[in-house]
Amino acid sequence: MSENELGEQPDHVVVEVFADVCCPFTHVGLLRFVERRRVAGRDDVVLRVRAWPLELVNGKPLDAAFIDEEVDEIREQLAGDLFVGFRREAFPPTSLPAMGLAARAYAVGDRVGEAVSLELRRRLFEVGEDISLPGVLAEVAAAHGLPAPTAEADEAAVLADWEEGKARGVIGSPHFFPPGGDFFCPALSVKRVDGHLQITADPAGFDEFLHATFG
């Protein structure tokens, strides 16, 4: 039974994030947030990661070669300790089933949903697993006490998130909505210069986001 079904008020502050589970910039941003939350001792703040399905936004599946380029550039320019097990050949052909599983986890509770969202990204970017595979999704679901995936209901939840994101003005992945505003990709500055992808940390933008979150 979920928190909503019980009619209870949550014991935490929610930071909503619209993002695709296969977006490497989101992986960096979420981990940076989790680390700063730990340092601040603010376990009362929980991420609610909503689906922003880029394959539907763009009208085509994410390109594994393009994501591989982004991962390489992030490792080289910013975070050599991340994406250690990423494998281009294991990049999922669709992110919808994984985001559907995360949505089902959030129906149980925000903390379960956050744990599943982070675990799916860890398996994709740090372990190198295809998180669209039913076996991988079933393992994640079982590890968090969730029933086996149900494609139709899960996809409906993803589509509902996408529609809400559009209504709220989401511009890309990740777009954060803390209690004090909204911030697109606040941890990173990403641009192309002469065709080359340049990725740097954005400490000022990230600090502004954290201030809006933690006060």
Q: What are the pLDDT digits (tens) for 16-25?
A: 999 999 999 9
CA geometry: angle 63, 126, 144, nearest 5 deg: 105
Kindly state the average pLDDT of the residues 166-186.
96
Question: For residue 201, what is the enclosing H or E element?
Answer: strand 196-201
What is the total count of domains within the chain? Answer: 1
Domain ranges, residue 62: 3-214
Given a cut of 70, whether residue 9 has pLDDT beyond it is no
Question: Per-residue pLDDT for 117 more than 70?
Answer: yes
Sheet containing 183-184, strands listed edge to edge, beginning at the edge strand earlier in sequence: 45-51, 13-19, 175-177, 183-184
For residues 190-197, average pLDDT: 79
Per-residue exposure over 158-185, b if at least 16 CB sit within 10 Å of its own CB, e if not:
bbebbeebeeeebebbbbbbbeeebbeb
Q: Which residues contact 31 (CB under 8 A, 6 or more apart)?
A: 82, 118
Contact 22, 102 (CB under 8 A): no
Q: Please list, in sequence order, all residues whose beta carbon lies within 8 angstroms of the beta carbon of residue 6, skipping any fewer than 6 positions away.
A: none
What would the two tokens of residue 53 be?
A: 């399905």
User: Residue with structure tokens 């014991």?
Assistant: 11
Residue with the bigger pLDDT between 127 and 77: it is: 127
The reply to whether the predicted model has a pTM over 0.85 is: yes
26: CATH? 3.40.30.10
Nearest to 13 by CA among 63, 50, 37, 47: 47
Up-side HSE of residue 64: CA atoms within 13 Å toward CB? Answer: 13
The count of residues in the chain is: 215
Handedness of CA 48, 54, 56, 61 (dihedral sign): negative
pLDDT band at 10 (very low <50, low <70, confident <90, very high): low
Tokens representing residue 49 in the block: 């990661």
CA distance 115 to 105: 9
Could you give the percent of the chain with pLDDT greater than 70?
Answer: 95
User: How high does pLDDT run on average in the chain?
Assistant: 92
Write down the pLDDT at residue 191: 83
Q: Please enumerate in sequence order all residues whose Cβ is within 8 A of that of 168, keeping only pairs 6 or more positions apart, or say none.
A: 18, 177, 182
CA distances from 175 to 51, 99, 126 (A): 11, 16, 22
